[in-house]
Amino acid sequence: MKALLYVMLGGGLGSGLRFLVSKVLNTNGQLPWGTFAVNVLGSLLIGFLMGWAAKNNSLNSSQLLFLATGFCGGFTTFSAFAIEGHALFKAEDFWGMAIYIIGSLVVGVLAVFLGLWLAKTQL
């Protein structure tokens, strides 16, 4: 039950921050930069957190539940990514859709690697 509380608290904070970032960066007629940004930043953060935890053995399971599962899980969003990709498709913006989907996947995975590398080599 305690673990669930950590995930819920972290998820609430992450979701709130995602809402704010998306509100600022997502504008009509453009690619959904807010969702792209939170997914890339969340990938970078989770990579860094997991690398930091592995290198320093400094985060306990409750902290990882709060930060990685809760906060990063709430901050990033696959459902918004999917619906925004669909909206680009419906608008027949096929190049925008391709750039957004491929870019999100590639940059997101690269951000995880970067976060892991930063945690292991720079700190």
pLDDT at 123: 60
Tell me what pLDDT residue 26 has: 86
Q: For the chain, what is the largest distance between any 2 Cα atoms, rounded to a whole number of angstroms?
A: 49
Burial 82-93 (b: 16+ CB within 10 A, else e): eebbeebeeeee
Domain borders along the chain are 15-23+31-121
What pLDDT, on a 0 to 100 scale, did the predictor assign at position 7? 95
Give the pLDDT of the chain (123 residues) as one tens digit per residue. Answer: 999 999 999 999 999 999 999 889 988 767 889 989 999 999 999 999 998 888 888 889 999 999 999 999 999 988 788 889 998 999 999 999 999 999 999 999 999 999 999 998 876
Q: Which pLDDT does position 60 carry in this prediction? A: 92
Return the SS3 of 28.
Answer: coil
pLDDT of residue 29: 66
Instruction: Give the pair of three-digit tokens for residue 61.
Output: 């399971």
Residue 83 has a pLDDT of 82
